[in-house]
Structure 1
């Protein structure tokens, strides 16, 4: 009987990198499509921000896809980037994308901690922002924490949504996996995807290991009924793959037996 795969539901091109990291640990991997990322057409607000890009003191980018969208826009308007701007990224993958596409140095949360908005806001250089112009590059929706906190600290924040996230109904294969709990572990790094897929999760699936990238997601998972959330050391492929490798699949079988008895 084939060993159940690790099920990943990360959207966009980063899914393949995560799959490779988990496969390198010796696990079969299956990718479940739960969300699509779609770049938004340029709006007047976007165009104004690109034209005034040299007026921003700090630029905060929340995801690798936002970084890609930013780099594409700046390539059209600024063949040579203006100087004097500090760049910030919530996580290492976003920072790597900015460095690769723009060649800029990027501030990130301290290593060893979670890659979250809260961790980024703890950086000393973001504590006092009196009247500084800050560009926040993100997708539609999402948490308002960054924009609200930066504004409270005195910044004049411009928030640009450069892409939208579109939830997808699971296909037949993913629905079956979630209905039967037929996977070694489920890896999710988005609260939106977690809430979306919880609707299709049976008690067996809720009792399987759920690998998440932050304590915030683990807390959300608990409220949704997941019994075995495991917090990885970060949202990088390496951190998530390590969490998968460290999880004991035999314990899930024991817990499932206990659940059936209950």
Structure 2
């Protein structure tokens, strides 16, 4: 057991900080490389939204990669950012990219253990009464409609921009073997789309291994897919997921200062 790896499914550059947080606890990590994120070609409608971004009251960004795409577009079209826009992010990682790349103040929900980040964002007081407000939602292609539908129901005029595509990949042969044999310490997943995709390769042995998820919603989905031991982390940050991995492996080693969770 000591040399079995923790499998992580987070795509792209964001896998690095998660791997580092888990490895800092003395646990080996292997990446599944199960999803590739690709920017979408800019359509006339998307270009118009970038040029008219000063017409929006609020900009809501749903993922770190969406934040990178937004920042690249604004760097291109707006050498000086327009004022008077309120920026929102679903989590700390997305907010950090917006602040670093654009220098803007970002509204981000306070993490609540087991709560989905979209639901947490929608609890913010400034997103309750939105009559006549124009809201730009920057996201990936597809995905959940919760944010757009709820904001529209609250009176907002919502424009949803899909700026990137998620391409699911088959696990490598070695990873397919690990999933078939349950030959790993824990599996870390923070996306419902990835969880449903991975379940195709998970044998009964894998379904009995610890599954680390970032919200109660994902834990419910995991149960429907047959996973028997979902562990809900306090959030989707690397630090929060690493704490949950440690808790699933050795509960006595999972104590952590709450300040550490904010650094993810």
Output the TM-score relative to the length of structure 1.
0.93
The two structures, once aligned, show a CA RMSD in angstroms of 1.3
Structure 1: stretches of 5+ with no match in the other structure: 251-262
- 1:249 Cα offset (Å): 6.2
- 1:12 Cα offset (Å): 1.2
Residue of structure 1 in register with 2:106 after alignment: 106
Checking the alignment, whether the CA contact within 8 Å between 2:23 and 2:29 is kept in structure 1 is: yes
Residue of structure 2 in register with 1:148 after alignment: 149
Residue of structure 1 in register with 2:130 after alignment: 129
Q: What number of residue pairs does the alignment pair up?
A: 250
Residue of structure 1 in register with 2:217 after alignment: 216
* 1:186 partner SS: strand
Structure 2: stretches of 5+ with no match in the other structure: 252-264
Residue of structure 2 in register with 1:54 after alignment: 54
- 1:111 Cα offset (Å): 3.5
Between the aligned partners of 1:10 and 1:174, the Cα distance in structure 2 is 15
Between the aligned partners of 2:74 and 2:48, the Cα distance in structure 1 is 12
Residue of structure 1 in register with 2:178 after alignment: 177
Checking the alignment, whether the CA contact within 8 Å between 1:35 and 1:167 is kept in structure 2 is: yes
Checking the alignment, whether the CA contact within 8 Å between 2:116 and 2:217 is kept in structure 1 is: no
Between the aligned partners of 1:29 and 1:232, the Cα distance in structure 2 is 18
Judged with a 3 Å threshold, the aligned counterparts in structure 2 of structure 1 residues 25 and 229 are, in CA distance, closer, same or farther, namely: same
* 1:13 partner SS: helix
Checking the alignment, whether the CA contact within 8 Å between 1:36 and 1:166 is kept in structure 2 is: yes
Between the aligned partners of 1:116 and 1:65, the Cα distance in structure 2 is 16
Output the TM-score relative to the length of structure 2.
0.92
Checking the alignment, whether the CA contact within 8 Å between 1:109 and 1:115 is kept in structure 2 is: no
Which contiguous aligned blocks of 4+ residues in structure 1 show a shift greater than 2 angstroms? 111-115
Instruction: Kindly provide the CA deviation profile for residues 60-114 of structure 1, in whole angstroms up to 9, marking residues without a partner as x.
Output: 0000000000000000000111110000011110011111111111111123443
